[in-house]
Chains A and B, each alone.
Chain A
Amino acid sequence: MRLLRWEAVLALALIADLFFNSLVSPYFFNLWTLSDATYQFTEKAIVALPLALLVIAGEIDISVAGIIALASVAMGLAAGHGVETSALIAIGLATGLIAGAVNGMLVTVFKVPSIVATIGTMSLFRGTAYAILGDRVLKGYPASFAVFGQGYAFGPVTVELALLLILAALAVLALHYSRFGRGIYAIGANAIASRWSGLAVDRYRFVLFALTGLMSGIAAILLTSRLGSTRPSIAQGWELEIVSIVILGGVAVTGGKGTIWGVLLAAMLLGFVQFGLGLLNVPGIVMSIVIGALLIAVVAVPALSAHRAGRVTLS
């Protein structure tokens, strides 16, 4: 029935947008411009990878931006006490991992639905960041810390982009070429059947939440390093953009369906669309209309065609 795979649609849209951007600015197809443009999506995509796994498994985590804020504050406080770069990284990762584990505990041990649990921890994590910092800014990062968000791995490829590519490759292996990945699909399709087939469903869930926390910690390191400062409002509203990337990437919110390729393409598409609108001097708030409309269109169009074809069944 379907003419094209969803990933192909995204790829075509991406090519069309790149073409459009090149019409807007003659300087767009310059390696360094493109390299700059990748900053629009690298950090968000790094969080979208584990979140995609989580959504495929039938769960959701909307506390990711809160985790980024908390991890950034933790690193900022440590940097203020003269902590070295390598230790700062460890602190950022540990904060993310612990925050993710808290979410995992709430869902697996206390059986709280993940949307409720992460609405709570989203306020908790960001609220803690606000409670610690108030209206202050943390700045005292060592010079060597800047390499993660501002450095280049080779040529015009930024450290962030290189890291994203490595993590994405790992995510592809984990989801599409491992038993762990098959388990994720199985749980998302039918958690009860999976449990009765001997899958340790709650262990999967816990690991996925912890992983999402850890990757949010990585995003916190990159973002903090790129900005060179920490405010409690850092990454505000990112949870919506990251969830949008995952859904736009073709991951079903009902679980059991989706690919890493789709999520990566969606992250790039959104990033380049935002960059292009930026070239046109469109304010960020107007971009949010585009993103919101895109998000609804993505789920509405297939539903609409099914509706037309009269294939809507009682679920």
Chain B
Amino acid sequence: MRKVFARPSAARDGFLALLTLALIVAVSARFPRFASPGSLADVLDDTSILILLAFGQMLVILTRGIDLSMASNLALSGMVAALFNRTFPELSTAAPIALAVLSGTLLGAFNGVLVWQLRLPSIVVTLGTLSIYRGMVYVLSKGTWVNSNQMSQPFLQLVRAHFTGLSALTWLAIAAALCAAFVLRYTVFGRNVFAVGGNPQAAAYAGIDAGRVQCLAFTVSGALAGLCGYLWVSRFAVAYTDVAIGFELQVIAACLIGGASIAGGTGSALGVLIGCLFLGVIKNALPLIGISPFWQMGINGVVITIAAVLNARGERTVKRAILEAEPV
């Protein structure tokens, strides 16, 4: 039993962390300013939204699901917050933030209920809501942009606040990381998530309602997407239909690179955090070493593909050990 609970992925997380550090060292060898505390803090700030989203996505992936609608949810919730702030600029910023989280939670719960009650495959449901939510941003905003001059100062400044050198956004990501690690390891919900992803039948026999756990995972994922909707709109000081379009793939990529298995039940908060930082460092290093940002997507593709091959190999050895013979 100890083998099951000791994380077999610890070596893999260590390797990925070393790779990330090596990357920072290599870049800063030519551009020493990259490793300065200020610059690294910027990288963290730039990666924070990815980290927050990745923890939501990881929960869903752990329960054998996938949430493709995350970026559309983010855009819609961000637009809701921005429109609310434009209409009622004198209200406290807490109001649009709460509204964004509420909107995200409801949109996530919609995915979750369909998956839970109707047992629909999550890939189909979220493929559908990816289009629906994105289209609703356009309908809601009538295709217009909400620009920074239409947003109130507190609405814009909150994410820009700095404490002890790190941005509010970074602190939020750190809090989320601690929270994710704690929830997954020490709460009943967290253990249920692994149980459902690892073996839904066994989980059912143990009295766990797999569908309900999946639904909760989607709801949490939606709530985080909603929060990030506000954060994104505030950080980039603009809301429009195409906000964060395609970002769901980067989030999924960060999870996969961080060792979360699409087959469910395997993954850790630490791994996913390192996966996000790895992508974040690459993204911020590219323009420095003079590589056009047009290369970003291709490099991500290479990284995801390599990570997928390595993950698959790791999973295969475990399966072999249990089953001895692998029929397919």
Q: Is the CB of B299 within 8 A of A254?
A: no
A85 at interface, CB cutoff 8 A? no
Residues of B within 8 A of A232 (CB): 294
Q: Is the CB of A295 within 8 A of B295?
A: no
> Whose C-beta in chain B lies nearest to the C-beta of A293?
B132
Q: Is the CB of A286 within 8 A of B135?
A: yes
Residues 84 to 122 of chain B near chain A (Cβ within 8 Å): 114, 117-121
Q: Is the CB of A289 within 8 A of B301?
A: no
Contact of B249 among A123, A134, A244 (CB under 8 A): A123
Q: Is the CB of B292 within 8 A of A240?
A: no
Residues of A within 8 A of B292 (CB): 131, 134
B30 at interface, CB cutoff 8 A? no
In the bound complex, how far is the Cα of B204 from the Cα of A72, in angstroms?
49
Residues of B within 8 A of A128 (CB): 298, 301
**A105-119 vs B, Cβ < 8 Å mask (1 yes, 0 no):** 010001111011101
Q: Is the CB of A131 within 8 A of B294?
A: yes
In the bound complex, how far is the Cα of B135 from the Cα of A110, in angstroms?
38
Residues of A within 8 A of B143 (CB): 283, 285
Quick one: given A120-B308, A240-B127, A296-B124, are A115 and B298 in contact (CB under 8 Å)? no
A88 at interface, CB cutoff 8 A? no
In the bound complex, how far is the Cα of B305 from the Cα of A119, in angstroms?
8
Residues of A within 8 A of B138 (CB): 283, 285-286
Q: Is the CB of A296 within 8 A of B129?
A: yes
Which of A26-34, A156-164, A178-186, A188-196 lines the interface with chain B? A188-196
Interface of A is mostly: helix
Residues of B within 8 A of A111 (CB): 312-313, 316
Contact of B121 among A130, A240, A254, A293 (CB under 8 A): A254
Contact of B301 among A120, A191, A288, A292 (CB under 8 A): A120
Residues of B within 8 A of A315 (CB): 119
**A182-214 vs B, Cβ < 8 Å mask (1 yes, 0 no):** 000000000110011000011000000000000
Contact of B120 among A113, A285, A299 (CB under 8 A): A299
B252 at interface, CB cutoff 8 A? yes
B214 at interface, CB cutoff 8 A? no
Which of A5-13, A139-147, A300-308 lines the interface with chain B? A300-308
B202 at interface, CB cutoff 8 A? no
B14 to chain A, nearest CB (A): 22
Residues 180 to 237 of chain B near chain A (Cβ within 8 Å): 201, 204
Residues of A within 8 A of B311 (CB): 112, 116
Contact of A116 among B114, B204, B262, B302 (CB under 8 A): B262
Q: Is the CB of A288 within 8 A of B121?
A: no
Q: Is the CB of B305 within 8 A of A295?
A: no
In the bound complex, how far is the Cα of B95 from the Cα of A260, in angstroms?
51
Q: Is the CB of B118 within 8 A of A304?
A: yes
A125 at interface, CB cutoff 8 A? yes
**B258-289 vs A, Cβ < 8 Å mask (1 yes, 0 no):** 00001100000000000000000000000000
Q: Is the CB of B298 within 8 A of A131?
A: yes
> Whose C-beta in chain A lies nearest to the C-beta of B256?
A116
> Whose C-beta in chain A lies nearest to the C-beta of B292?
A134
Residues 133 to 169 of chain B near chain A (Cβ within 8 Å): 134-136, 138-139, 143
B244 at interface, CB cutoff 8 A? no
A247 at interface, CB cutoff 8 A? yes
Residues of B in contact (CB 8 Å), total 52
Contact of B328 among A131, A191, A299, A312 (CB under 8 A): A191
Quick one: given A110-B309, A295-B131, A296-B129, are A289 and B204 in contact (CB under 8 Å)? no
Residues 283 to 328 of chain B near chain A (Cβ within 8 Å): 292, 294-302, 304-305, 307-309, 311-313, 316, 327-328
B20 at interface, CB cutoff 8 A? no
Contact of B294 among A106, A130, A312 (CB under 8 A): A130
Q: Is the CB of B125 within 8 A of A288?
A: no
Contact of B252 among A106, A119, A296 (CB under 8 A): A119
Q: Is the CB of A296 within 8 A of B125?
A: yes
In the bound complex, how far is the Cα of B219 from the Cα of A264, in angstroms?
36
Residues of A within 8 A of B134 (CB): 285, 288
Residues 223 to 262 of chain A near chain B (Cβ within 8 Å): 232, 240, 243-244, 247, 253-254
A291 at interface, CB cutoff 8 A? yes
Quick one: given A119-B249, A253-B121, A254-B121, are A127 and B297 in contact (CB under 8 Å)? yes
**A270-311 vs B, Cβ < 8 Å mask (1 yes, 0 no):** 000000000000010111110111011001100110010000
> Whose C-beta in chain A lies nearest to the C-beta of B248?
A119
B130 at interface, CB cutoff 8 A? yes
B32 at interface, CB cutoff 8 A? no
A122 at interface, CB cutoff 8 A? yes
A51 to chain B, nearest CB (A): 13
Q: Is the CB of A130 within 8 A of B298?
A: yes
B241 at interface, CB cutoff 8 A? yes
In the bound complex, how far is the Cα of B253 from the Cα of A117, in angstroms?
11
A24 to chain B, nearest CB (A): 20
Rank and list the top 10 A-B pairs by shortest CB-CB distance, nearest first: A127-B298, A124-B301, A292-B131, A123-B301, A127-B297, A289-B135, A120-B305, A120-B304, A292-B132, A296-B128
11 of the cross-chain contacts (CB-CB < 8 Å) are: A113-B263, A116-B311, A120-B253, A131-B292, A244-B127, A285-B143, A286-B138, A288-B131, A289-B131, A307-B118, A315-B119
- Chain B residues in the interface with A (C-beta under 8 A): 66, 114, 117-121, 123-125, 127-132, 134-136, 138-139, 143, 201, 204, 241, 249, 252-253, 256, 262-263, 292, 294-302, 304-305, 307-309, 311-313, 316, 327-328
Query: 5 additional contacts, CB 8 Å, given A115-B66, A285-B241?
Result: A123-B301, A123-B304, A124-B302, A253-B123, A296-B129
